[in-house]
Amino acid sequence: MSAAATIDALLDCSLLGYTSVGYRIRERSWSPDDLARMDGQVVLVTGASSGLGQAAAEGFARLGASVTILARDPERGERARAQTAARSGASDVSLELCDLSDLSAVRALAERFGSRAPRLDVLVNNAGVLSSRRMLSADGIELTFATNVLGGFLLTELLTPLLRRSSPSRVINVTSGGMYTQRLHVEDLQMSGEELDGTVAYARTKRIEVILTELWAERLKDAGVVVHAMHPGWADTPGLAASLPRFHRLTRPLLRTPQQGADTIVWLGAAAEPAQRSGELWHDRRSRPTHRLPWTRESAEERGRLWAECERLIAEAATRAAAADAGPGPRRRPSASSRRSHKPRS
């Protein structure tokens, strides 16, 4: 084992590897040539109005890709689009608006994007929320699960034909190191049978994202589409400061910049190595184990039930939306106007 690999392994066994110190040590062994130019390629990044998503969008734009930023808020989204274009020096940076917790909005987005984009080389599912209390999406689904899991699941499904036509292409799911503390609770994905703890709910959805990454990789293995997950370590983002203020305050001297946290997202989208494999979890440009604790492992039967439940919830939401649209009077759906969205990454 080389000295760099030994140091990396030691960092991976400690939380120091999650910090900016770990990043700076590891990056010494990286080469600028690892990131190939992406001229002519199309990249869609969700949750890109700030933090990791915006940093990833800037990274792809610097490499010459045509980048679409997906944001929920028009003002923040336009500001991020303008900043991304200015900082990267790229002219082909566009904005799409969508609340990923609203499955009808996801369908509309996929239709819009598919009608205007000639191809899709990289899809980055980065958008996420951490809610301090139980809230429901417009479809009546627990907000954290709706945004972090179902929105990205449906978007990936709807854009798969475009990804296939653009192959070789890539899907990158941004998870969190917090998922190492949680297992799959397929019997209660929305935590309806217990008091919702926002941090726990968030970490459980991040565990689910890793499982779905593996399942998507298996389904798309013959389609020329690779699917990977990554976790960014502890990054200093607006979402982290807003949703976990005490943690942010205590760890701020050691937090990574958004650019450091997003580095592996860009590397997964541009480098040659990850294109040769699929279904893996990455951190700081290396494949990592998906479990650290034996009790977090799920069975094949649970994985199958998870996929089926995601499909069922999406289908039911579509049926309800169609019925509401077809009925008399204005469409009425559960209000989610009071929710607050955060994107902590750890």
Sheet holding 66-71, edge to edge: 93-97, 66-71, 42-46, 122-125, 169-174, 225-230, 281-283, 286-288
| pLDDT given for residue 216 in this prediction | 98
Q: What angle do CA 213, 141, 212 make, to 5 degrees?
A: 5
Neighbours of 81 (CB within 10 A): 22
| pLDDT given for residue 190 in this prediction | 96
What H or E segment, with its residue span, contains residue 272? none
**Parallel, antiparallel or unpaired: strands 169-174 and 225-230:** parallel
**Segment 31-53, tens digit of pLDDT:** 888 999 999 999 999 999 999 99
For tokens 């469409």, name the residue: 331
| pLDDT given for residue 317 in this prediction | 95
Residue 340 has phi, psi (to 5 degrees) of -125, 135
Tell me the CATH class for 36-326: alpha beta
Q: How far apart are CA 85 and CA 58, in angstroms?
A: 8
**Parallel, antiparallel or unpaired: strands 66-71 and 93-97:** parallel
| pLDDT given for residue 254 in this prediction | 86
| pLDDT given for residue 339 in this prediction | 40
| pLDDT given for residue 25 in this prediction | 95
95 close to 48: Cβ distance less than 8 angstroms: no
For the chain, which residues score pLDDT lower than 50? 332, 334-346
Q: How far apart are CA 107 and CA 183, in angstroms?
A: 29
Q: How far apart are CA 239 and CA 132, in angstroms?
A: 13
List beta partners, residue 223.
none
- b/e burial code for range 229-243 (CB count within 10 A of at least 16 → b): bbbbbbbbbbbbbeb
For the chain, how many helices (H) and strands (E)? 12, 8
Q: How far apart are CA 98 and CA 312, in angstroms?
A: 22
202 a catalytic residue: yes
Q: How far apart are CA 110 and CA 94, in angstroms?
A: 15
Residue 65 has phi, psi (to 5 degrees) of -75, 155
Q: How far apart are CA 65 and CA 57, in angstroms?
A: 9
Q: What angle do CA 81, 87, 88 make, to 5 degrees?
A: 90
What H or E segment, with its residue span, contains residue 96? strand 93-97
Q: 294: cis peptide before it, omega within 30°? A: no
Which two structure tokens, joined as six digits, stand for 98?
A: 């969508």
Overall size of the chain counted in residues? 346
Q: How far apart are CA 254 and CA 22, in angstroms?
A: 9
What does 6-35 look like in DSSP terms, one character per residue? Answer: HHHHHHHTSGGGGSHHHHHHHGGG--GGGS
For tokens 């919830």, name the residue: 313
* Burial of 7 (C-beta count, 10 Å sphere; 0-12/13-18/19+): middle
| pLDDT given for residue 329 in this prediction | 60
Q: Of 96, 201, 187, nearest to 143 (Cα)? A: 201
Q: How far apart are CA 81 and CA 29, in angstroms?
A: 32
Catalytic residue chosen out of the listed positions 18, 23, 180, 202: 202
